[in-house]
Amino acid sequence: MARKFFVGGNFKMNGSKASITKIVEDLNAAELPSDVEVVVAPPSLYITLTKELLTNPLVKVAAQNSFPKASGAYTGEIAAPQIKDAGADWVILGHSERRTIIKETDEFIAEKTVHALESGLGVILCIGELLEERDTGKTLVVCNRQLDAVVDKVKDWSNIVIAYEPVWAIGTGLAATPEDAQATHSAIRKYLAEKLGEDQASKIRILYGGSVNGKNAPSFSACPDIDGYLVGGASLKPEFIDIIKSRE
């Protein structure tokens, strides 16, 4: 069975009521391909607004983070059941900005993944290496370590989408070549096959993230192990729709 192409838009800490309303209105008006799953992740303050404004049934909503408890004295955190209650279906976990800036560990991200799945959310699980790790040939060592923490706790990956995001390419304007990205995605899938079995690994969608834009997206779309994109800055721009249509 072919893996359904997946395009996620991570707004990060950007946007206002006005700008997010415009983005959603553009998505509502667009003729999006029915064979692409689209998910947008606004800041948590705007999840409900985004959900209420969306009329295009092809577009779902994600949160950018969640905490591994359903409720409690965790000031400033957002719980997976609250995300569901607000109308979102997905959550982004393990993004490099949370790994490096907030110092989230592989183990903590795995705990959050378990709780999000148990709460009925799909998880966009981000992995990826720093520039110095890439330069020293440790790309797969890092990616495999990040995956292992989740593999140890989760055996059913049917509601997990992996986003491979080389940290050196996020927001820098740099992007891996399609050939390099395909090679890494293929190696990740091979590693998952060793850990989870060939059948499950063949069904897991692996997205590419790292300065994806309307111009370079088509060059990645033809790669057999690249099943879509997790888009950052370009998801705030009209070219996001071009990225969604990049396989046409």
Question: Identity (one letter) of the amino acid at 200?
Answer: Q
Give yes or no: 95 in active site. Answer: yes
Residue 22 to residue 27: CA distance in whole angstroms: 9
Structure token pair of residue 93? 């976990």
Q: Which residues contact 89 (CB under 8 A, 6 or more apart)?
A: 39, 60, 61, 62, 121, 122
Q: Which of these is catalytic: 95, 111, 129, 185?
A: 95
Element holding 95 (H helix, E strand): none
Residue 218 to residue 244: CA distance in whole angstroms: 10
Q: Which of these is catalytic: 37, 97, 104, 165?
A: 165
Give yes or no: 115 in active site. Answer: no
Structure token pair of residue 147? 């995956």
Q: Which residues are catalytic?
A: 95, 165
